[in-house]
Amino acid sequence: MPTPEWDIPANLQPNPADYSFDLEHALRSVVGLRANVPSDAFTAGTLGTERQGNGVIIRQDGLVLTIGYLITEAETIWLITADGRATPGHPIAFDSTTGFGLVQALGKLNMPVMEFGDSDALPIGTEAIIAAAGGCHHAIETKIVGRQEFAGYWEYLIDNAIFAAPAHPFWSGSPMIDRAGKLVGTGSLILQQGEGKKRTDMNMIVPISLLRPVLDALLTTGRASPPRPWLGMYAMDSEGGLVVGGVSDTGPAALAGIQAGDCIVSVGDEKIPDLGALWRKVWAAGHPGAVVTLRITRDGEPQTIRIKSADRGSFLRGPKLH
């Protein structure tokens, strides 16, 4: 499994001499991750069948933290250590609430463990490192440029997300490391702000503080909390309000008749101002199976559509036992 040849520009790489901890040793905790997903898996069409990213070792027994979309429905997972060894891994959990994923190495990794830091204590302006597997040449010095709620079009919402720039180009599952050498977050997305020459690329980082209270549950049951109502609807903010960008072909929204281009006015009688409010209102409906009433406009005409929600997890392949 050869690693593509690339380096972060030298002026953006962290200099080990600038840190009070052994940076090169700490970066050996970062592993490459390759996952293969069956072509008929539910997420194959949106996330692909061959997924690459990173993870970080968080326990001596080879437990690796990554971002969950890399391992969702994965049939095979390989972890590539700093010394070039490829070790098979088993997906333990994907938490759709936080976005984290956990992989258990099925062999000895013999690499350092990265301790958790305090992501809640990181204000805007804090310097940090985002690291892909491969040492300092694959790490970037960055700065926290925002702390705020993040709502994703795929029925996802977290409070106090971390936004960092400059962005790491290979962010998926890459750990964010604070000035003390501790893990404070996991790379999820790259976003653009502004246009043209004024455009800024930044990474959205899921704070490690979201993992602490749910880690034990993920390890013992594979999920952190009861499933939420899921619609299978991709919505986004636009200048005219909330718009449906698409639907999962076999999901509840599609079955109920929701179409791309529909404008969402309210859930029940409550008007919805933004994407975060939409998901909160959907989840407040109760458990999967609860009916969610959407009031929409389509081609300027108002409509009311009742959607029987579902458990997102019931559409996904479970991991094979080893």
* pLDDT tens-digit map of 230-259: 999 999 998 889 999 999 999 999 999 999
225 falls in which pLDDT band (50, 70, 90)?
Answer: confident
**Residue whose tokens read 């299978």:** 232
**CA-CA distance, 93 to 138, in Å (whole number)?**
27
Token pair belonging to 52: 């690459």
Count of H-run helices and E-run strands, the chain: 5, 20
pLDDT tens per residue, range 254-299: 999 999 999 999 999 999 999 999 999 999 999 999 999 999 999 9
Alpha carbon separation from 23 to 8, 30, 139 (Å, rounded): 16, 12, 10
Q: Which CATH number fits domain 229-313: 3.40.50.300, 1.25.40.10, 2.30.42.10, 2.40.30.10?
A: 2.30.42.10
From 92, 93, 98, 101, select the one nearest 54 (Cα to Cα). Answer: 101
Domain 14-113+216-221: top CATH class = mainly beta
Compute φ and ψ for 46, nearest 5 degrees.
-95, -35
Alpha carbon distances (Å) from 242 to 43, 91, 154, 278: 24, 35, 13, 9
The Cα 316–Cα 322 span in angstroms is: 18
Topology of domain 119-209, per CATH? Thrombin, subunit H (2.40.10)
Give the residue extent of every domain in the chain: 14-113+216-221, 119-209, 229-313
Helix or strand run (H / E) with residue 89: strand 86-94
Given this model, what pLDDT does residue 216 score? 95
